[in-house]
Every structure is written in C-alpha cells, then in structure tokens.
C-alpha cells in the first residue's frame, strides 16, 4: 500500500516538474480552460443572485389583502388570522404603506398626496400550504370577509419568475454541458500532443514491462491537474468579476434602500467546480491516451 | 527427451514466418533453440531478419505463422494483459541504446524496477550495483547526453540487467562503437553469461564472433543458413 502511494506521489511530483519546465504552454492551457469554465459558472452565479434577490422581495406565494378604507383594520386582521390555512399575517397600516411608497418610489419629496393618504391598510398573508391551488382557495375564502376590499395573489409573478429562472438554469446547464465537452476536447488534444512528444519514452516503458496503467498514469495526472488548475483560474476570474460588480451593485442598493450583497460561489460549490475541472481533464486525458495505447499494441 | 529440452530451453522458434503488411517476407521457416545459460550470436547481412527475430522474441511483433516459446511461455497463447509481465523477464539492449535523455542515469537504470512496482532503498541498491557492474558507479546523477557513446551503451546494459532477467537480448550493441569499446561491451555480456544469464546478440561484427567462440545462428534473406 505504501509503495502504491509512493509511486503515485512520484508521478505527481514529476507532473509538477513537467509543468514547471513548460510554464508558458501550461499557463495558456490553464487560462483557456479557466475562461471556458468561467462563462457557465458566471451565469450560474448570476442566477443564484437573482434568485436570492427575488426571495427577499416577497414571501413566496403570499397574498396581499387590501382592507376597506375607514373600516376597523384591527378587527379585520383578527378575522383574517382566524381563517383556516393562514400561516402568518403582517399588517401594513396606511401610514406605513405611504412611507414605504415614498422611500421605494423616490417621489417622497414631491408631496404628491398632500396631507391626504389614499392608501388602504394591507394584510400580507402567508398561506400555511404553498402551491397555486391552496393559495387560490385561500384567496377565495379571504374575499368573503366583510372588511376585505380586494385580495391579490403574488403567486402569479412568482410563478413567472420561477419559470424564467428555470429557463435560465436550463440554459446554464446546456451551456455548461457544451463547454464541458469543449473542455474535454481541449484537454484530449493537449494530452495527445504530450503523448506524441513522449512516444520514445512510452516505447521504452513498454519494452521494460510497463503496464498500460503505468503508461497512462502520468498523462492522467497532467489532465486532472490542468483541469483542476483551469477550474481554479475560473474561480479567480469569477471573483475578479464580482469585485468589479460590487461598486455598481452597492450604488443600486443605496438607490433602492435594500440590503443586498452580491454573493459568489460557496466553499462547497467552489470545491465542486475544482473537482469537475479535474474530472473533465482526467476524462480528456484518458480518451487521448487510450488511442495512443491501442496504436502501440501488438 | 522433448520435455527435457523444453525445461532447459529459454528461446525456441519453430517454423516461424513473418510477412509485413506490404508483403515483405522478413522471415521464412526460421527455427532454433537457445538453452538456459547459453550465449549465442545471431548473425547475417543487413536485411537478413536478425532484428525481426529479436522483435518476435520480445513480442514487439507477432509472427505470421509458427511457434515461439520464451522463458517457458508460448507467445501465441499469451494474452495481451500478460504481455508487460512477460517482458519483465527479458533484458533488451539496442544499438541506439534508447535512453531517456531528460532523465538522469539513475532514473534510466531504475525504470524496469519502478515499472515493476519497486520503490525506496531496494531500487537504489540494485541500480548502484548495476552501475557498478558496468563501471559507471558515481555517474548516476548525470544525464545520458553528457556521457560518451560507450558509456551510454553501458547505461543501456545496466538498465537491461537491473531487474535480473534470465534472458538478455541485444540488437547490434556495438554497432556505433570502436573496436576497443566493442570488446569491453561484449566482454560485459560474456561476464553476465558466466553468471548464468542466457544471452542472444544480433550482430554482423565477425571479429567479436571469432573472438568469443560462442554459438552462431546464421540468417540470410529471412532464411536459416545454419545454427552451429
């Protein structure tokens, strides 16, 4: 077992040595892979941020219950709370509503409404059971309450946003699959060139009794390491992009009074990307070396 | 008698034919036996088929027809996955020595041991012993291109013998060397033979054949001309 790990460690160190001997070629391949991986990863991070942002806007599938003006809002809210299927109720008084409107619209300084507040009291209801059917049933029930003027479901735009995000996710998946294939081909081609430059070495190793696994090993390390380093490069590109976007996002944040911060990949996701890069590199190298090994068989 | 001979033969070729894809008949009905501990020269003019015989013995090529047995293994029945293990039983020396120039002398000689899964002190001990035998102790950290032609050939021989194979084959090992160096190299082969290694050397160097007075297998245009 010790001998097995020693052999792998030796091959790994030799691979690092090979990289060090041709730094320019290695760097170019790594950056190419980095750019290839950065595109779908960047789009994925963009989608994640959009999803986070949309979750902050409204409770998913909530109902806005507009109360009759001049009615007893406290009694109306109490009646809403008693309706079966209601999980939580958040009451926004007409004054709070006006203040919120002034803040988010940026029209507060214009004194549009004078001293008169035209807004009704609103109860934001979170259904106990999410889903279009339950929410629609609950909306129907709330409409029958005497102090309720109008019930508006927020589910429609949530569904639309979800559909748009699902489309985005599918596009990212297609792009990732296409670029992943491109990456495998890039690495297969790189490995094939390395195999060709080491044809003499391979024939000697064969002659002294090297197995296919032994011959394959250094090339698999080259593929996996190049892919892994390419993924690391993609993470760096992504981080630089996020740093570059942080300023404009902060400007938007200030303008809208939200508390949103751009998020990058988490530790687990970054590790997954590194693993994926290494795996794709390994696959590319394996394809290239398999062909070379077949050609040398008797 | 037959079984007795099989037990003691290291190489046995029976009615071996080899035709290359373009139609060249490299060997035609070649057959000979080399016993355990024997040393023989395989000789003949260029194109006689000497190198083809050596390639068939270490299974770099397969015969078109005929039967070859090496180290007790009938090569026609050897599955592809066993091929590397079979080759570990043969030491091969080439005229152009086929050293890896970007690796040190030590790494070149250690290659058959590393390939066989050996690591650590045992590798070091065996490599230094092999270099000692070929008179290159102390040169292990150098690179092949810094050595003379004769020294490079010695490194090739050390690599062929470091894993102690029972059979050593050499293809024109003195082809690029002057007379004095050629004598040194062939004497090395004789020393190994004296220690029980079976040796087959393909050469057209008649001076060496005359000097050593060992067995001679003669080929001409792919045919056996005689096995004295």
**Co-location of B115 and B2 in the same domain:** no
Note whether A257 and A280 are same-domain residues: yes
A205 with B98: Cβ contact below 8 A: no
Pairwise CA distance, residues B183 & B167, whole Å: 21
Residues B81 and B105 in one domain: no
Residue B2: the pLDDT is 38
Q: How confident is the model at residue A169 (pLDDT cuts 50, 70, 90)?
A: confident
Find the CATH number of the domain harbouring B207.
3.40.50.300
- Is A9 at the interface with chain B, CB within 8 A? no
Say whether residue A3 is in contact with chain B using an 8 A CB cutoff. Answer: yes
Any chain A CB within 8 A of the CB of B118?
Answer: yes
| B118 chain-A contacts, CB cut-off 8 A | 3
Q: Which residues of chain B have pLDDT under 70?
A: 1-7, 228
Helix (H/G/I), strand (E/B), else coil: B96: coil
Whether residue B80 is found in the same domain as residue B139: no
Same domain, B39 and B131: no
Q: What is the CATH number of the domain that holds A122?
A: 3.30.70.3040
Question: Same domain, yes or no, for A229 and A291?
Answer: yes
Window 58-97 of B: residues touching A by CB (8 A cutoff) are: 58-62, 80, 83-88, 92
Cβ atoms within 10 Å of A10's Cβ, excluding its own: 14
Same domain assignment for residues A166 and A41: yes
Contact list, B119 vs chain A (CB under 8 Å)? 2-3, 6-7, 10
Q: State how far residue A233 is from chain B, nearest Cα, in angstroms.
A: 30
For A213, nearest residue in chain B (alpha carbons): B115
pLDDT of A183 reads 86
Measured between alpha carbons, how far is A227 from A153 in angstroms, rounded to an integer?
A: 48
CB within 8 Å: B98 and A7: no
Q: How confident is the model at residue A252 (pLDDT cuts 50, 70, 90)?
A: confident
- Cα first-last separation, chain A: 32
Co-location of A176 and A274 in the same domain: yes
Complex prediction ipTM: 0.85
Overall average pLDDT of the A250-267 stretch: 79
Q: Judge if A102 and A173 occupy the same domain.
A: no
- Verify that B74 and B172 share a domain, yes or no: yes
pLDDT-based confidence at A52, cuts 50/70/90? confident
CB A11 within 8 A of CB A216: no
What are the chain B neighbours of A14 within 8 Å (beta carbons)? Answer: none
In this structure, the dihedral spanned by the alpha carbons of residues A154, A155, A157 and A159, taken in order and rounded to 10 degrees, is 160
Largest CA distance in chain A: 96
In this complex, do A206 and B117 lie within 8 Å of one another by their Cβ atoms?
no
**For residue A18, is pLDDT > 80?**
no
Residue B187 included in any domain: no
pLDDT on residue A105: 67
The average pLDDT across A93-102 equals 84
Answer yes or no: is B58 within a domain.
Answer: yes
Among candidates A6, A204, A209 on the partner chain, residue whose Cβ is nearest the Cβ of B116: A209
Residue A197 shares a structural domain with residue A288: yes
Residue B9 and residue B56 in one domain: yes
What tokens does B124 get? Answer: 């070091």
- Mark which of A153, A173, A204 sits at the end of a domain: A153
Record: contact A208-B117, CB cut-off 8 A: no
Q: Is residue B32 part of a domain?
A: yes
The reply to whether A205 touches chain B by the CB within 8 Å rule is: yes
Distance from CA of B221 to the nearest CA of A (A): 24
Pairing of the two strands B39-43 and B215-220: parallel
Q: Is the dihedral of CA B50, B51, B53, B54 positive or negative?
A: positive
Nearest to B209 by CA among B228, B224, B223: B228
> How many domains, in total, are found in chain A?
2
Ranges A9-23, A221-235, B61-75, B141-155: which has the least confidence: A9-23
Under a CB-based contact definition with an 8 Å cutoff, are residues A231 and A277 in contact? yes
Instruction: Name the residue among B62, B84, B100 with its Cβ closest to that of A210.
Output: B84
The reply to whether the predicted model has a pTM over 0.80 is: no
Res A248 pLDDT > 50 = yes
Number of domains in chain B: 2
**Residue at B79 is within a domain:** yes
CA distance A60 to B191: 88
Nearest-neighbour CA in chain B from A260: distance (Å): 56
Q: Percent of chain A beyond pLDDT 70?
A: 90
* Domain membership flag for residue B198: yes
For residue A235, what pLDDT band results from cuts at 50, 70 and 90? very high
Do B52 and B74 have their domain in common? yes
Domain finish residue from A153, A188, A207: A153
Residue of chain B nearest A5, judged by CA positions: B119
Same domain, A144 and A239: no
CA-to-CA dists, residue B16 to B27, B76, B86, angstroms: 7, 12, 20
CB contact under 8 A, A200 and B98: yes
Same domain for B66 and B134, yes or no, is no
Helix (H, G, I), strand (E, B) or coil at B70: strand
Q: Which range of residues forms the domain containing residue B62?
A: 1-89+167-177+194-222
Co-location of B50 and B132 in the same domain:
no
Residue A1 contacts B, CB cutoff 8 Å: no
Angle between helices A23-57 and A212-256 (to 10 degrees): 40
CB within 8 Å: B88 and A203: no
* DSSP 8-state code for residue A35: H
Same domain, B75 and B172: yes
What pLDDT is attached to residue B4?
39
Could you report the per-residue pLDDT of B164-204, keeping only the tens digit for each? 899 999 998 888 778 888 888 899 899 989 999 999 999 98
In whole angstroms, give the CA distance from residue A235 to residue A281. Answer: 16
Whether residues A52 and A180 share a domain: the answer is yes
What's the domain range around A274? 2-57+159-295
Q: Are residues B45 and B105 in the same domain?
A: no
Say yes or no: A132 and A268 in one domain: no
**Predicted pLDDT at B174:** 84
In this structure, the answer to whether residues A91 and A229 fall within a common structural domain is no
B35 shares its domain with B144: no
Within an 8 Å CB–CB cutoff, is residue A213 touching chain B? no
Q: Does A200 touch chain B (CB under 8 A)?
A: yes
> Quick one: A110 and A210 in the same domain?
no
Across the A/B interface, how many CB contacts are shorter than 8 Å? Answer: 57
Q: Is residue B94 part of a domain?
A: no
Residues A141 and A179 in one domain: no
- Distances in Å between the alpha carbon of A28 and those of A5, A226, B69? 30, 10, 51
> Phi and psi (nearest 5°) for A292?
-65, -40
Residues of A in contact with B61 (CB under 8 A): 298
């Amino acid at each position: 077992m010790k001998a097995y790990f020693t052999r792998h460690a030796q091959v790994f160190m030799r691979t690092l040595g090979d990289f060090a001997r041709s730094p320019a070629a290695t760097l170019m391949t790594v950056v190419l892979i980095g750019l290839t991986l950065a595109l779908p990863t960047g789009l994925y991070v963009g989608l994640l941020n959009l999803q986070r942002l949309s979750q902050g806007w409204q409770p998913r599938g909530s109902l806005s219950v507009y109360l009759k003006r001049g009615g007893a809002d406290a009694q109306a809210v109490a009646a809403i709370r008693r309706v079966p299927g209601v999980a939580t109720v958040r009451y926004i008084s007409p004054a709070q509503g006006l203040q919120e409107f002034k803040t988010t619209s940026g029209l507060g300084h214009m004194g549009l409404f004078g001293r008169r507040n035209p807004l009704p009291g609103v109860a934001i209801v979170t259904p106990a059971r999410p889903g279009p059917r339950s929410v629609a049933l609950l909306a129907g029930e709330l409409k029958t309450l005497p102090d309720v003027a109008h019930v508006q479901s927020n589910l429609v735009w949530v569904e639309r946003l979800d559909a748009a995000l699902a489309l985005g996710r599918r596009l990212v998946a297609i792009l990732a699959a296409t670029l992943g294939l491109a990456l495998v081909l890039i690495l297969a081609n790189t490995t094939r060139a390395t195999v060709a430059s080491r044809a003499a070495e391979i024939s000697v190793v064969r002659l002294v009794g090297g197995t296919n696994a032994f011959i394959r090993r250094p090339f698999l390390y080259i593929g996996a390491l190049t892919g892994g380093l390419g993924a690391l490069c993609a993470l760096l590109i992504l981080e630089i992009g996020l740093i570059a976007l942080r300023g404009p996002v902060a400007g938007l944040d200030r303008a809208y009074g939200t508390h949103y911060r751009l998020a990058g990949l988490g530790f687990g996701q970054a590790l997954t990307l590194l693993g994926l890069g290494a795996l794709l590199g390994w696959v590319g190298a394996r394809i290239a070396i398999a062909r070379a090994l077949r050609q040398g068989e008797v | 008698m037959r079984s007795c001979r099989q037990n003691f033969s290291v190489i046995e070729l029976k009615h071996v034919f080899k035709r290359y894809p373009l139609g060249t008949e490299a060997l035609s009905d070649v057959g000979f036996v080399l016993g355990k501990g024997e040393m023989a020269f395989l000789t003949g003019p260029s194109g006689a088929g000497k190198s083809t015989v050596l390639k068939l013995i270490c299974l770099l090529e397969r015969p078109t027809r005929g039967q070859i047995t090496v180290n007790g293994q009938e090569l026609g029945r050897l599955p592809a996955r066993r091929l590397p293990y079979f080759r570990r039983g043969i030491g091969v020396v080439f005229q152009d020595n086929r050293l890896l120039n970007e690796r040190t002398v030590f790494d070149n000689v250690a290659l058959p041991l590393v390939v066989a899964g050996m690591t650590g002190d045992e590798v070091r001990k065996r490599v230094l012993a092999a270099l000692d035998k070929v008179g290159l102790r102390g040169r292990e950290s150098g690179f092949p291109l810094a050595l003379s032609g004769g020294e490079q050939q010695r490194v090739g021989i050390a690599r062929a013998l470091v894993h102690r194979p029972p059979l050593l084959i050499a293809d024109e090992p003195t082809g690029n060397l002057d007379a004095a160096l050629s004598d040194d190299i062939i004497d090395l082969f004789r020393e190994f033979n004296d220690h029980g290694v079976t040796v087959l050397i393909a050469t057209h160097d008649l001076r060496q054949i005359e000097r050593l007075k060992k067995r001679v297998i003669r080929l001409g245009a792919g045919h056996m001309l005689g096995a004295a």
